[in-house]
Amino acid sequence: MKNSARFLSIAGTLCILTFSFVGCSSGEIEFTINNDSQTDREDEPIVITRQQIEEKGSIPNNQVPLPYLNEEALPAQVDDIDSDGSWDELAFTINLASEENATINIRFVNAADYPEFTSRTNVRFGVLEDSGVRAVEELTMTADELPVPLFERFQMDGPAWENDKIGFRQYIDGRNGRDLYGKTSPEMALDTVGLSDDGKLVDNYHVMLPWGRDILAVGNSLGLGGLALLENSTPTRLGIRLDASRNNIDTTKYQLITEGPVRSVFRLTYTGWNVGDRKLNLTNEVSIWAGKYGHANKVQLTNSESADTLIVGLVNIHNDNPPELLEDQASGLSAFLTHDQQTYDKEWFLGMALIFPNESFLEYRKAPESGLGITNSYFTLFEMEEEQTLEYHVFAGWELSDERFTDAEYFREFITEEMQKIAEPLQIQ
C-alpha cells in the first residue's frame, strides 16, 4: 500500500471528525454520522484513524477496515501515513441529505480481498528516463536543474493530479505556477496526457480530446493557486522563469503520499528559498478527493525571523470582469473568485476561486500586466508567522464540465455552498 496523509480542511479541522463509536459486535465497529446542516452532502470526505478504531475494538491481525452502509461496501482506501508499513487511516466518501444521519459498520477483511473500487482520483508525475517516461513517486531537483526547452524531461512540466471532475498540474521547472485541465469525462486521463502513441513527450493537451483539455492560459502569472512571497513590497516568485540559468530554490522535492480511489495526496518541499538575504523553507501538501471541483492545500513557511506575507495567486488573463471577495464572518472563511470567458482564446466560461480563513488574510492586489516579474495575477495576501500553517482550497467550474457554470450567479452560489460545507463539517450524534 502507498503512503498517505490526512485530508486537510482550511477551517483548521479535518473532515476526519471526532467519531463517537456506538458499539462493536461480531468483529464490527459501528458509528453514526449526522449532517446537521441545511446542505446536502455528496461525496463528503471522511477519515478515521487507526487509533480511533483501536479505542473501540480490536483489529484482527493482517486485516484492514472496510466501511459498509446498509450492507453495501463504501468506496474506500487504507493509507500508510508514516511509511512504517502499517496502515494509519481509513478514507472514504459518503452521501448525506440535509439533516440526515447514517450508521456505518466497519468490517475487517484481508488486504488481498479489498474490493477494487473505481479510481476517481489520480496523481501523475511522468519523468523521461533512458528507458522511456516513468511515473515517479519521489524526485529531488537542485537549483541548476531547469529543463529547457519544454517537453525535454517532464511529461506535463511537473506533477499533475485529477479526479472525476477536474485536473491540475504544477510547473515544477522554476515557474511554479498552477495550470488547469477541464474534463468532460469522469475517467482518469492524465497517465497518457503529454505522451504520443509511441511514448514520446509531446504537447497534445492544448486541443480538445475525448477526456477534455488544458483550458487555462497561465503565461507569467501564478496560475490558479500558485505561491509567491511579498518581500519589501515586491512579489518574489517561488522559483524563476525558464529563461534564467538558476532557480532561486536550492532544492525542490516531490513526494507522492497516497493515490487511491477516493483521495490522492502529494507533498512539495522547497528548501533554501532565496528571498533577499534570507533562505526560507516552504512545504505545500496537496490533496484531492473524488467528486470535488477543486483541491486542498496545506502550506507551512519556516526559517522566517518575523512575520512574512505569503501570496496565493489567481490568474488574470482573458478576464474582463472584476473579481469578487465573499467574506463570511460567521464561518471565519472568505472566497476570492472570478468568472468570465477566461479560457484559451476566451472560448468558454470558467469560474475560479480560492477559499481561505479570514484570520490571516490581509488584502488582495492586482499584479501588473507586463514586466519581468509576476504578471497577470491577482494576489491574495496572508500574514505568516514562523511555522504557521495556511490551509486553503482551490475551485474551478468549466462550462463543458457542467453547463450551469456558464452563469456567474450559479458559480457564486456554488462557491458559497462550498464555504458552508467547509465551515460545517459532518457531526456525530
Residues 111-147: tens digit of each pLDDT = 999 999 999 999 999 999 988 999 999 999 999 887 6
pLDDT at 428: 54
Place of cell 468483529: 27
The answer, yes or no, to whether residue 367 has pLDDT greater than 80, is yes
Give the model confidence (pLDDT) of 55-96 as tens digits.
Answer: 888 999 999 999 999 999 999 999 998 878 899 999 999 999
Residue 148 has pLDDT above 80, yes or no: no
Q: Mean of the pLDDT values across residues 171-192?
A: 94
Instruction: With beta carbons less than 8 A apart as the criterion, state whether 179 and 169 touch.
Output: yes
Give the amino acid at 105: N
Phi, psi of 75 (to 5 degrees): -55, 125
Q: Is 409 helix (H, G, I), strand (E, B) or coil?
A: helix
Q: State the Cα–Cα distance between residues 355 and 328, nearest whole angstrom.
A: 11
Q: How far is CA 371 from CA 203, 221, 244, 367, in A?
A: 27, 11, 15, 10
Q: Which helix (H) or strand (E) holds 410?
A: helix 408-423
Mean pLDDT over residues 187-205, rounded?
94
How many Cα atoms sit within 13 Å of 163 on the Cβ side? Answer: 20
**How many Å apart are CA 341 and CA 421, to the nearest integer?**
27
The three three-digit cell numbers of residue 191, written as one number: 497517465
The 3-state DSSP class for residue 52 equals: helix
